[in-house]
Each structure stands twice: as C-alpha cells, then as structure tokens.
Structure 1
Amino acid sequence: MKVKEMRLPFSRRGSYLVISPIHKRGHDSNALYIRMIRGGDEKTGAVFKINLLDESDKHQNYEVEMTPHLMRISAKAGILEVCFSSERTIRMRGYGVRLELTAFTGSYDYALACPDGTLEINNFAEKRRFRLIPIEGKIEVDAPFEEEKSKFIRILCSPDHLNKAYEVALTDYKINYEKDLSIETSFQSSVKSAAEDFEIWKKNTLKVPEHYESAREAAAYITWSSIVNAEGLLTRPAMYMSKNWMTNIWSWDHCFNAMALIKNQPQLAWDQYCLFFDLQDESGALPDFSNDQYSFWNCCKPPIHGWTLKWMMDRSDWISEDRLAEVYQPLAKWTDWWFRYRDHDQDGIPQYNHGNDSGWDNSTVFCEGKPIETPDLSAFLIIQMDVLESIANKLGKNEDAFRWKKKANEMFTKMMEHFWTDGGFRACLSNSHKQVMSESLILFIPFILGNRLTDEHKTILLDSLITKHQFETEHGFATECINSPFYRPDGYWRGPIWAPSTMLLTEGLKAIGEYELSRKTAIKFCEMAAQSGMAENFNALTGTGLRDPAFTWTSSVFLILANELVDGTRWKLI
C-alpha cells in the first residue's frame, strides 16, 4: 500500500517505539517516521525520517506491506525489511537500496561516534538517547557540530560491497547503553519471536463469529501493539488508546480495555482497571489522562468504574475478596469526591464542570453554560454506590454497606425528582436548574439503572429514543439526534457513533429487558467496525471511520460485543 494510506502503526507489545506516517503539516505523508511515544500526544514524537536511496543517492518513492511482526518497505531499486527484536530495539535489513535516517534535531541534540563502532544520538526533546548498531555493512554519519548542537544529523546505512545486504539495529535508552541481547539473534529469529508473541496474544483474544475473523485479527493487533511497559508514572503494563495519534490513557477508556481482557487475561485486565487508582489524588480525584511522564488534572472523566467492576465481577471469579479489598477504598474515595467537590449548589446532585469531565466533550448538553447536572452522572454514581455496598458486605463492612445502600437509594429519589420529565430525562444548569435544550444520546445512558426504573419510565424512554427522536441509523445510535440543528457528521460527540456510548447503551438496553434491540445494536456496531476498521468514532449515516484509525477501546468493544454474539446468552437467546 502507499504509505499515506497506512492506517495502523507498526510497533509491538511493550514498546514506546513506533513506525508510521505523520499526517501533520511539516511532515511528508508519503514517508515513514520512527517515533517515540513517551510523553503523550502533544507532539508527533518524530525521531527519524526513513528515506531509501538508490546507487546514485537518489531518493526513492516506496510502498509498505505490514504484518504484526514484519514491515516490508519496497522501492523500485530494492527492499528494506523492519522488525522489532525487543521492546526497545528495531532491526532494519536492506537489499538494493541504502537507508538514510534523517534525525529531527533541536537544541543541544548531537550524534557521537562511539569506540565500539556504534553511533549515539542524544535527543533532548524526547529525553532519550538512541544507539545505532551496525550488524552487517557500514554506517556513515554527517552531523556537523555548531556551538551547542549538531546542525543536522544524517545517517547512511549501506552494504560493504555492491549488491550485498546490510543490517542495523536501533535501540533507545535513558542514560547508559546496555547491549540488548536480542541483537545477538538473527533477523529471522527476531521476526519469529515477535510473531510468536502476537500469536499468544491472539489466542487469548476473545472469540468472535467466523465472518468477523479478519476484524478480530486487526483488533488483536491494535490491542497487542498498544501495550507499553510499566515505566515512569505508569506503575503497570498499560494499554494506550493508540500508538497512532492518541498516545495517552484516559480515565474511562481504560475501563473498556479492562473489560475485554478480564476473561482470558485477568491480571492484565486488573492492571488496566487499577492503573488510575495508582495515580489517584489524596482528595479522591482521578486524572483526566496520563502517560509515562505526566498526568493531566484540569478535567476528569465520568465515574464508570463501579459499573465496570460489576460487569467484570459478573463474568469472572478471578476478582477475589483480596482484590476487592485492594480497590474498595480507592473506589469509595473516588465516589465521595464527586459529592464533596462537584456539588456546588449542595443539592445532592453532582455536576460536570466541563464537557471533558463527562467524556462527551462537546455534547449539546453543555451548550448553554456550565456547570451542568446530567442524569448519566447520577446513574453512574448510584451504580457505583450499589457496587460499594456489595463489596462492603463481602468484606464484612456492615456499617459501610448500610451507608452506601442508603445513599444510593436517596440519590435515586433525588435524581428522578431532579431530571425526570413527561418525555424522559433532562439536563439542567447547576444552581438555577434551568433545563438545557439538548438532543444528545447522553440523556439515555440512565438505561443502565435497569429495574430501578419503572415500566412506565422504560416505555417513555424507549419511545423517546426510537420514535420521537431519530438517533438510530443502519450503523447504530448517533450521539446527537440526526435531525438536530447541532448534528454534525464529523462533530465528535455531536453525531458520530462511538464505542463507549454503544457499549453503555447495549448494556443499558439489556438491563431493562430490551434484549433484541441490544443485540441488534451490537450487530450494527460489529458490522461497521469490521467494514471501516477500529476508528476513534464513525460517521453515523455512512459508517465511515473518523479520526484516529487505530483505537483500542473501539477494538475492545468490538471484541466484547462480537464475543457475546457467539452464543447469544447475554441476550437470553438460549
């Protein structure tokens, strides 16, 4: 394929190194770049641009083929093969073409020839050093030093003799170079090792109906390759949202990834779930997002963690009392934080101070000002308190259990008094409680309350969702009614279909007994993802993938929903 059509980045489980095109101004969309994804998505992370040269030093156009374990970059004059021999080392082997690596240099960056014949490149922006090691052939560097840095760094890798292959390895490290033993193995052994690692992952990936098998393979690759090793602020192996563009972990995205792992990889699922509780502030708050180098605290994300934990407990006996004891106090502190710090008018109904706090960043419920009180937030907190009651009972904390049960029931009463109207749920401004005019799907998330809702409530909500408002399309439920004046085909949370909204809605529909509608919605999502890829979100009318095309929570939700289609038991079909 042409490089600019490449949708999935090339990486492997555990690595912070990635090879992909960069579709941003100032970069060549027809070229591949070696990137470093430490430190989040506010930068491209570009470290080297990959160029191929023929015998006359002329740059070659090239195309790319990729499997999970091998990338083949083909030009008219020859081929460059690339693999990861370990999480920190990329191997590159060329035939017929020479490899030129041009470094992205900033203040103080330099290249230094080392006594052992290797080359060190010190990249201050990435806070890393890179070691280029010749395995076969030779490397030449042009890096004129001016005052405090190399003016530019150009590295040429080529064979010792004409028509002979060459091979180099590129390793990243922080302070001191320690030889990566994977360099001692052959290129083919490195390819085989990566392939075997992926096959083990794929074997543990949720099973899906046979006609989704190619989509399962893509979802397996995206989730496998998006894992990074525990490092810096990340106390556990962590699944990034993407190694394409969205190179962080947000504090509700991780929940969906944990859900997809709990059946076959429970320890890794638990790592994903607990990751943000490891980062929890003393006040109880969780950061909006984190990466290995910093956490962002200006916003947060909705408290879906109780709902997530219950979902996983219902499907796995692995979550023992010891593990529940591990998470009980952090989950309690996170719940109390909302009542202590996000209820400015002290009416017992917590608020969102910004759209980003809800996860639905620009939803129309935020059109008329902030802070906003919304029924989804109340529903999440009620379920979270129900879960805390259940855990407290298991742990013998009887007084706590009574307190959580009382508080959940009181909040449900307040929620219905506060938000329920003749036509369903509303959102309102905090303090004045003026209703916000919105046709957002977020107002239907309280389906997850299940039998706390009366049959009349369920009927009114379903009629509003299906009949009165046009949310449903052939691909699923749009996040904004498609007849709304605010609907936008690529309007983020003002139209496109998202994995989390679909997951919450399908579970909510099951909770109120609407199994067939839930199943139909799941099938629509799976068909769309299988056709359009694991995109960040999708055009609700066409099903086309939008934004980042390699998203883990989309992959995880696809796998969860497709897996439940295998036997249908979650929809009471047998």
Structure 2
Amino acid sequence: MTVAASGPGFSVRDIPFSYRGSWFGFSPVIAEKTYAQDVHLVSHQTGMHPVLRLVPAADAGVTATPHLLTWSGDGGRIDLAYESADTVRLRGRGLGLRLTAADPDLTPFSGPYFYHDPVDGSFVFTVYQTGRRYRITVLGGQAVPLGTQALGTAERGVTLAGDWEIALEEYETARAPYGGADTFEQVVKAARAEFDAFAAAVAPWRSEATPAAELAAYVLWSATVRPAGFVTRPAVLMSKHWMDKVWSWDHCFNAMALADGLPELAWDQFRLPFDHQDAAGALPDSVTHSEILYNFVKPPIHGWALGRMPKGGQDEIYRLLERWTTFWLTARRVPGHELPHYQHGNDSGWDNATTFDPGRVVETADLAAFLVLQMRELARRAPDPDAAARWSGAADRMRDALLAELWTGDRFVARCAHSGATWSSSSLLDLMPIVLGGELPEPVHTALAARIAEHLTAFGPATEHPSSEHYQDDGYWRGPIWAPSTVLIEDGLRRAGHTATADEISARFRRLCEQSGFAENFDARTGEGLRDRAYTWTASAYLILAAAHERRRRRH
C-alpha cells in the first residue's frame, strides 16, 4: 500500500480520515508509533483499538481529502465517505476489497465474533475491545463471507469484487436495517459541505497566505467526537491517533481557536474538564471515553484562556474558576508560603523539563504567573466589589512574592517546597512568567525577552536551550518546539511591548506548521514533526496565530 497526499489532501499516515462526531477513523496507525501495512478502521471507544482491516485486491495507493478517502490501482478504485458520524459508505469500481477483523483471535472473552444476520442479510462483527458492533450491508454487488466462527485464529470478514457498494455502521446492541437512500455522490457532497461550513466558520480569513489553515481546521473537525462515556459534551480529542484524550490544559487552546466562529463548541471545549472537577476543586489530568485520571493536574492557564473566550455563562464560569484557583491556594501551598507548588513535572504540563531535575515538589515562577492572571480574571468577573477586591489583592500579593522570592535580578529560579533550596535551569519553562506581559516591571520582561530570543531556532522557541548539555532533539520537553509554550510566550511578549520578537515567533511557528504539519511537537533544529502527527492543539495554535496575524495585517 502506498499512502500519499494529493493536492489539498493529506496522508492518512499523519492524519486519520474521520468525521466530526465520529468515534472511529481510518488510518494505518494502530497503536503508539505503530504503523500497519493496510488502512484500518480504528475506534476510540474504551481506548484506541484497530477493529477492521481494509485490504484492496491489488496494490493501491491511498489518497485523502477532508470528504473522501480513495484507493487507486490496477485500473480500479475504492472510495470511502462518511454518511454520518457512525456510518460510512464504500464503493468499488473494478477493484475488490477484503474487509476483515483486525484481530484474528477469537476466545470466549476476547476477539471479534462475525456472523451473517438472518434478519436483514447483513454481516456483523461484534468486537469485545470496543463493546460495539460493526455491520456491513451490501448495497450493490456481492459479499462473500470469509473464515469460520469457531474459537481460535482465523480470518473473519467478507470479500467484495468487481463493482460493489456497501454501508458500514457502528452501533451498540441493535439497529433497524440500513435504510439510507442517498447516492454515493450525494453522500460525498454532503460530507464536503459539512467540512466546508466548519472551515468557513473557524477560519473565514484563510487565503493563499495561510496555506495550512484548511488542513488545521480539518484536524480539529475530524478529531471531534459526540458525547459518550465520560465525554459529556461534543469534544475535540487531542488526536484520533493514540493521544485520544482531553487533557486539562490542551483543551484551552482548542477552545480559543473555535471561539470566534463556533462559540458554543468553544465553550464545550473549555467546560468539559470542569464537568469532572473534584471535591477539592481540582480538574482531572485527563478525560476520555472510558477513563478519568486524577493522578496529576495540569497548569492553571484557564484564567488566561478565559479572557479570550466569547462572552456568556459568567456566573457559572466564575464559580468553577474560583474552585479551581482555591485548590491551588489551599492544597498546593506550604503553610506560611505565598507561592504554590507543583508536585511533579506532569502537573506543569512540561513533564520532564529540566526545571524538575533537582526535585519534583517545586515552587516555580510559571505557576505563580498563571495564578496571578487567573486571579485577575476572577476579579474582573466577580459578582460584587468585595470579591473583586479580594481577588485583586491576592493577585498583587502573589505577583509581589514572585518577584521578591524567585527573581534574582536576571532570571527566575525554582524553589524546593520542602527545603527552600533554589536553582535555575536551561528550560524555557523558567521564562514562562513572560505571560504576565506588562504587569512585570520593564527590566524583568526585557530580560526575559532577551533570554527567550536565545532559545529561538529557525522554527521557534526550543523548550531547552539548544546549547544545554541536557538538550535532546526528540526529548519531549527537553528541546522540541511545542505549540502551547509558543502561543503563551508570543502573547506575553506582545502584551509586554516586545512586538518584533512576538511577530518573529509567530511567523516561524506558522511556517513550521506549513512545512511539517501539526505534530505533537517538533525537532527544534530540523523542524521535523515528532510523536503524534495529528495533534489538535498544534492545529489550534496555528489557527490562533494565523488569525491574529491576519487581523493585524488587515488593520495596516
């Protein structure tokens, strides 16, 4: 199988072919950094599970656009399009297809059971891993069943040859016989219209000057799932590869990218982790279909993000944000200390940053800066003057403590919450207080801006200084360029008046995405996309920066 992009399309090795609301997609990526030879239907209910394998009868190249997946070879072709979030249509013209269970093993408690339904003549896979059924209804041509229903290892599925057409549905226990009346062409046209409307809403400013905008919109659109399991709202997963969760800071960037064009969907993104806020006020580390994790938290950037959200829901949002902030001020402050602490690098979102090498329970400057911004936002949204004054005073005290206790005159240090020992590192994390913008004294934000400039490569700000002995090209937060740090730094520099540096960071990151797509992170020296290659907060960062750049350009 040859996987390639065509025209405005994309490679399914990088970005799964999927549809807004669907819990499954089509990709050869079947596990973390694991690529199959053939395209699979991969479900994200109860985890990431390859369910069905799609094998053309002859060698065929695969191309994808937002509305159509196509195999072409040996004088024939197969087309696949979504009819709805849980139904796809496939059509073959002169090219056959073998559609089989991805897992050939059947035991009493695992594996795919396959049967021919006597009610409507369809073929059905029942899959233990997802707890769902996958039904094939023949609309044209003939399907020949494969394999045996006995326990053990065997190929189970159907073959289709010549000219044929089928509908493939995902459902739970029972469903009326397939009754779709639209032609395949009508299905394709409707899918294209669905995506075009989304792209027009999210990126109405797109042009030849923003060549990655439409693909960025597709990454968000196709990674969106309908409510199911613990996912209480329509949600943009971080990816429909293996990073198929909503983490409690990633969601903020997706909400911001959607805010102008699709405010209701944007609020769903912002609110989803708050639906699982615990009794202490903490947000979960992550939420996905069948799992909520509270073993870590994520940094409180929510006040910063809230200032960039559409108006609405102020009273409820205030209450939720107040509880989240109070968690940090009570559960994460040593008695007598003004500054809060992380319990692990994972709490910061910068899991293995070198800031945490000397210790894990650490008072850091970025955390204090985020909470200052969050308390400022609470003061703006407070229901009465007394509450506003209380939050303003708390923000002032934390800002003053940040500067008095962690600023050395040319840099911020981190401090052990137990011993009080301090240290500095070569991590970009130490420079994140630039998010305070003009609230920092001029000498402080100017020194931070100069240090940030030292982290810049041709592609953007490296998360570890490139000359550091700890720098690694694929070192997660020890070198690679990440979208969230880039957006936060660009915004803080701009608000501090360092617009030239902010403009340069924005331009370099936008070019990086246009060159290397929307990877989880990027090699800071080469610009190569690393890890998960269809990461939504990266696509959102591109849309946020491109939209802002277009607004500035058009003003001038």
TM-score (norm 1): 0.90
Partner of residue 323, structure 2? 333
Alpha carbons 1:107, 1:124 under 8 Å: kept: no
Asked if structure 2 preserves the Cα contact closer than 8 Å seen for 1:370 and 1:430, the reply is no
Q: Give the equivalent residue in structure 2 for 1:303.
A: 300
Cα RMSD (Å) = 2.1
2:456 is the alignment partner of 1:453? no
Q: CA deviation at 1:485?
A: 0.5
Q: 2:240 aligns with which of 229, 239, 243?
A: 243
Instruction: Note if 1:111 corresponds to 2:98.
Output: no
Aligned 8 A contact 1:3 1:31 in 2 = no
2:474 counterpart residue number: 490
Letter in 2 for 1:444: L
Distance 2:552 2:115 in 1: 61
Contact in 1 for aligned 2:54/2:99 (Cα 8 Å): yes
Correspondence for 1:11: 18
- Tell me the CA shift for residue 156 of structure 1: 2.2
How far did residue 153 of structure 1 move? 4.4
**Alpha carbons 2:31, 2:242 under 8 Å: kept:** no
Partner of 1:219: 216
Q: Which amino acid letter does the alignment assign opposite residue 537 of structure 1? A: N
Of 101-110 and 271-280, deviating more is: 101-110
What code does the residue aligned with 1:455 have?
E
Compute the displacement of 1:39 (Å).
2.8
Choose which of 31, 34, 56 in structure 2 pairs with 1:52: 56
CA distance in structure 1 between the aligned counterparts of 2:30 and 2:44, rounded to whole angstroms: 16
Alignment partner, residue 277 of structure 1: 274
Q: In 2 relative to 1, CA 118–544 (structure 1 residues): closer, same or farther, beyond 3 Å? A: same
- The CA distance in 2 between the partners of 1:379 and 1:28, in whole Å, is 41
Match of 1:75 in 2: 73
Q: Which residue of 2 aligns with 1:31?
A: 38
Contact 1:219–1:555 (CA under 8 A) maintained in structure 2: yes
Q: Which residue of 2 aligns with 1:57?
A: none
Moved more, 477-486 or 131-140: 131-140
Paired residue for 2:87, among 83, 86, 89? 89
Q: CA deviation at 1:301?
A: 0.7
Which residue of structure 1 lines up, in the alignment, with residue 186 of structure 2?
189
8 A Cα contact 1:448 1:504, kept in partner:
yes
Deviations 1:378-436 (A, max 9, x none): 111111111111101xx3x2322222112111111222222110221111221112123
Which region of structure 1 is more displaced relative to structure 2, 435-444 or 519-528?
435-444
Q: Percent identity?
A: 37
- Taking a change above 3 Å as real, the CA distance of residues 70 and 417 of structure 1, as seen in their structure-2 partners, is same
Shift of 1:461: 2.2
Question: Residue 364 of structure 2 is aligned with which of 370, 374, 394?
Answer: 374
Change (3 A) 1:421 1:236: same
The question of whether the paired residues in 2 share the 8 Å contact of 1:354 and 1:370 is answered with yes
With over 3 angstroms needed to count, the CA separation of the structure-2 counterparts of 1:305 and 1:569, relative to structure 1, is: farther
Alignment of 1:417-456 (within 5 A): 417-456=404-443
Q: 1:345 and 1:140 mapped to 2: Cα distance?
A: 71
Q: Which runs of 5+ in 1 are unaligned?
A: 54-59
What do the CA deviations read for 1:434-456 (whole angstroms, capped 9, x no partner)?
12341111111111212321112
Matches within 5 A, 1:364-403: 364-392=354-382, 395=383, 397-403=384-390
The CA deviation string for residues 80-115 of structure 1, in whole angstroms up to 9 with x for no partner, is 111111100121111223211221245433112211
Partner of 1:507: 491
Query: Aligned partners of 1:462 and 1:99: how far apart in 2?
Result: 57
Partner AA of 2:349 in structure 1: G
Report deviation, 1:484: 0.5
Question: Could you tell me whether the CA contact under 8 Å between 2:148 and 2:156 is conserved in 1?
Answer: no
TM superposition shift of 1:138: 2.1
SS in 2 for 1:145: coil
Size of the alignment, in residue pairs?
543
Q: Partner of 1:232: helix, strand, or coil?
A: coil
Q: Is the 8 A contact 1:106 1:124 kept in 2?
A: no
Letter matched to residue 538 of structure 1: F
User: What does residue 56 of structure 1 align with?
Assistant: none
Q: Counterpart amino acid of 2:91?
A: R
1:479 equivalent to 2:463? Answer yes
Q: Distance in 1 between matches of 2:523 and 2:495?
A: 27
Q: Give the TM-score, by structure 2 length.
A: 0.93
